[in-house]
Amino acid sequence: MTLMPHTGRQLIVNGDDFGLSSQVNAGILHAHRHGILTDTSLMVTAPAWEEAVALARATPTLSVGLHLTLVQGRAALAPHLLPAVTDPFGNFSQDPTRAGLRYFFSRQARAQVRAECRAQIEKFLATGLTLAHVDGHLNIHMHPVVLDSLLALAKEYGMRAMRLTREDLATSLRLDARYGLRKRWESVIFRILSRAAEKKLRTHGILFPDALFGLHQSGDINERYLLGLLPRLREGVTEVYCHPAFLPCREVQHWTPTYRRDVELAALTSPAVRTAITAQEVTLISYRALSPDGTSPYDAQRSW
């Protein structure tokens, strides 16, 4: 579905991996209560997911979506129901490329992926939280098989919004020129995936932001980056996704040892960033604010 033009520049700031650990949960809540974070994405099979749910229930201003996990994590369904996609202990592959190829070429794996998508959506909805949006751990929701599975379930479960992972490479490199080769390769892959995904999302009436940042800068959304990004935001809705947490954290060290999650947390709560948002006349909103006519039924604008 095409969003009507939004007035001004609006920004969704989403914290991924909600439920991964108590330190991640605390970081996301801190960034929401004392910073610019408006949304989070819940991993319903992660070690601290129940704690995350309790915190979200106690924080109604925090918009919560599903962080679909089909790689580097555990399944919601029992292992004997997913022999083509998990190990005997219910763990998904740690290699996203290998997992992606299996999901694409194996008919059995495709059927099990859809079953697991349903199970994770149902587990989320059973919490009583409103499903504000859906995205995927390591952006696995952009995989054609996974996306088709989600869209087949969208109407049944009231799925209304999704992250469309596409990032302007030129802007990303101007903000941080490091790791240029990796960023260019990511850009090629997700440009192809996003073109096909955008058509499908529009066909199914699924809403999505106009622009996104965070793909090429995963694990290092620092203060300098945000201060450079804010003046470059275009009219419409932009999502920035990030991974804040308090450190040290065993789960974080295991899964994302190179991520500077404490630096991201500091950036999200930076007085300089908050001042810049006000000076640049950027409005903070949540995924719950997205609507086909461009209006905001829920205004997550913050005051400090």
pLDDT tens by residue, 134-184: 999 999 999 999 999 999 999 999 999 999 999 999 999 999 999 999 999
Please calculate the CA angle 242-285-273 and round it to the nearest 5 degrees.
55
Which CATH class name applies to 9-289? Answer: alpha beta
Task: Parse the chain into domains and list their residue ranges.
Answer: 9-289
pLDDT in tens, 253-290: 999 999 999 999 999 999 999 999 999 999 999 999 99
Q: Examine the pLDDT at 301 and tell me if it is beyond 70.
A: no
Tell me the whole-structure pTM to 2 decimals.
Answer: 0.94
Rounded Cα gap, residues 130 and 125, in angstroms: 7
- Which tokens sit at 222? 């620092």
Rounded Cα gap, residues 52 and 48, in angstroms: 6
Q: Is 177 helix (H, G, I), strand (E, B) or coil?
A: coil
Rounded Cα gap, residues 285 and 237, in angstroms: 9
pLDDT in tens, 234-244: 999 999 999 99
pLDDT in tens, 148-157: 999 999 999 9
What is the pLDDT, as a whole number, of residue 292?
A: 74
At residue 3 the predicted structure's pLDDT band, cuts being 50, 70 and 90, is very low
| Chain length of the chain | 304
